[in-house]
Amino acid sequence: MAHLAKKHANRHDLPELLKDVPEEHQEPVKQMCLKMMSHDAYGKPYEWSTRDFECGAPLGRGKFGRVYLARERHSHYMVAMKVLFKNELRQGNVQRQVLREIEIQSRLKHPNILRLLTWFHDESRIYLALEIASEGELYKHLRNAPNHRFDEPRAAKYTYQVANALNYCHLNNVIHRDLKPENILLTSTDDLKLADFGWSAHTPNNKRKTMCGTLDYLPPEMVEGTAYDDSVDQWCLGILCYEFLVGNPPFESDSTEKTYAKIKRLEVHYPSHLSPGSKDLIGGLLRQSGRITLVDVMTNGWIKDGMTKRAAQLERGKENQAKN
Ligand SMILES: Nc1ncnc2c1ncn2[C@@H]1O[C@H](COP(=O)(O)OP(=O)(O)OP(=O)(O)O)[C@@H](O)[C@H]1O
């Protein structure tokens, strides 16, 4: 399926394709590339179908989708196959949402956005062949972390990666609008993949007024029903960063009204364990207007320092594993 990323690659491109692959993986990766290049689908239009995949263990289940590990028969390339039943989509009245998700996700290509490799359908089902994020939902990792929160280096790295993905979306006129730990997946290499573009929207420059997203993550302009633009995603990134560090979103309450009121008053309580750098960053994002940009987030000192520390943590983890 590498043809989707690099349509016209051929055998002569192998040295270039393999140049960043570690020595010990060169041969298997080369064989995989050769297999992909010999596939009927390589660089040409191709009608994928269930015949092309072997279905394996279930990976999870959503409101509409069941997700399975699957393997492309020819190349043995592994994917996460999401299967949606058309009658369930019709009953839930979400056909348009799913089509928008497919349309948007298939053209977004970024290391922190879950790739939709291909999709096809039969009479009763829609199949989405997705890149695998083997560690699953980030939400689960947050729940399982000590005190249900990440340490600052981990939170900083993840905030950077989400900012990077959102920045790419905005450059491509897409607003995500539904950021939350449940819509982010984690890979085996500790990298995030933004998923679930069901609520995202194309933004042909004008401001929008649709109310959507998750209550705890709603920015004041969406609560008030006024026009909004892509800076809603910066607000949500501020909420996400807070939730990473504290374990719950800042405006969480026991009723919708109370949450709305807190959002409108920008009533954020910062626990004492938060560093000044993290509070500064969150404060810059959780503003009614004049939010800091995603590039400001990516170049922020607290973020950069945290990323260096996270890389060192992971390195130490690898060394310890090697010793045991
Ligand atoms: N690409 C993937 N790699 C690995 N696991 C995945 C992948 N996509 C989904 N999963 C697993 O399958 C579960 C269900 O995925 P799905 O996208 O249907 O869920 P959802 O977004 O929670 O559903 P919904 O939007 O219908 O509420 C996820 O929670 C996750 O554990």
Q: Which ligand 1 atom minimizes the distance to the CA of 114?
A: 1
Q: Is 140 left (phi over 0), alpha (psi -120 to 50) or beta?
A: alpha
Three-state DSSP at 285 gives helix
Residues 234 and 87 in one domain: no
Annotated binding site: 63, 82, 131-133, 182-183, 196
Share of the chain above pLDDT 90, in %: 58
Residues 255 and 312 in one domain: yes
Ligand 1 contacts (CB < 6 A) are 59-65, 67, 80, 82, 114, 130-133, 136-137, 185, 196
Residues 211 and 295 in one domain: yes
Residue 298 to residues 115, 167, 295, 303, 314, Cα–Cα distance (Å):
22, 10, 5, 7, 20
Residues 145 and 56 in one domain: no
- Gap between the Cα atoms of 203 and 27, Å rounded: 44
Q: Give this prediction's pTM.
A: 0.87
Ligand 1 center to 298 CA (angstroms): 27
Best mutation site among 1, 63, 67 for ligand 1 pocket (most ligand atoms within 8 Å of CB): 67
Residues 269 and 149 in one domain: yes
178 counts as catalytic: yes
Residues 212 and 71 in one domain: no
Residue 288 has pLDDT above 70, yes or no: yes
Instruction: Classify residue 27: in a domain, yes or no.
Output: no
pLDDT digits (tens, 9 = 90+) for 111-146: 999 999 999 999 999 999 999 999 999 999 999 999
Choose the catalytic residue: 13, 40, 178, 216: 178
Instruction: Classify residue 161: in a domain, yes or no.
Output: yes
- Gap between the Cα atoms of 32 and 271, Å rounded: 50
Number of structural domains found in the chain: 2
Q: What is the pLDDT of residue 277?
A: 98
Instruction: Choose one of 132, 166, 199: the last residue of a domain.
Output: 132
Instruction: Classify residue 89: in a domain, yes or no.
Output: yes
Ligand 1 center to 283 CA (angstroms): 31
Instruction: Classify residue 30: in a domain, yes or no.
Output: no
Nearest CA to ligand 1 atom 5: 136
Ligand 1 center to 65 CA (angstroms): 7
Three-state DSSP at 202 gives strand
Residue 175 has pLDDT above 90, yes or no: no
- What mean pLDDT comes out for the span 309-322? 92
The average confidence (pLDDT) of the chain is 88
Residue 306 to residues 147, 160, 296, 312, Cα–Cα distance (Å):
19, 10, 15, 10
Confidence of residue 299 (pLDDT cuts 50, 70, 90): very high
Give me 143's structure tokens. 């729940």
pLDDT digits (tens, 9 = 90+) for 205-233: 444 445 444 688 888 888 888 877 888 99
Give me 177's structure tokens. 């609008």
Residues 89 and 236 in one domain: no
CATH number of the domain where residue 87 is located = 3.30.200.20
Nearest CA to ligand 1 atom 23: 62
Q: What is the pLDDT of residue 31?
A: 87
What ipTM was predicted for this assembly? 0.95
Ligand 1 center to 77 CA (angstroms): 19
Residues 285 and 148 in one domain: yes
Instruction: Choose one of 132, 161, 178: the last residue of a domain.
Output: 132
Residues 107 and 161 in one domain: no
Give the domain extent around 53: 46-132
DSSP letter at 19 equals: T
Annotated binding site for ATP: 63, 82, 131-133, 182-183, 196
Best mutation site among 69, 141, 185, 189 for ligand 1 pocket (most ligand atoms within 8 Å of CB): 185
CATH number of the domain where residue 312 is located = 1.10.510.10
Residues 155 and 125 in one domain: no
Ligand 1 center to 206 CA (angstroms): 32
Residues 159 and 308 in one domain: yes
Q: Which ligand 1 atom minimizes the distance to the CA of 198?
A: 25
Nearest CA to ligand 1 atom 11: 60
Instruction: Classify residue 73: in a domain, yes or no.
Output: yes
Q: How is 38-97 classified by DSSP, letter by letter?
A: TSTTTTS-----GGGEEEEEEEEE-SSEEEEEEEETTT--EEEEEEEEHHHHHHTT-HHH
Instruction: Choose one of 77, 110, 132: the last residue of a domain.
Output: 132
Residue 98 has pLDDT above 60, yes or no: yes
Residues 157 and 109 in one domain: no
Instruction: Classify residue 253: in a domain, yes or no.
Output: yes
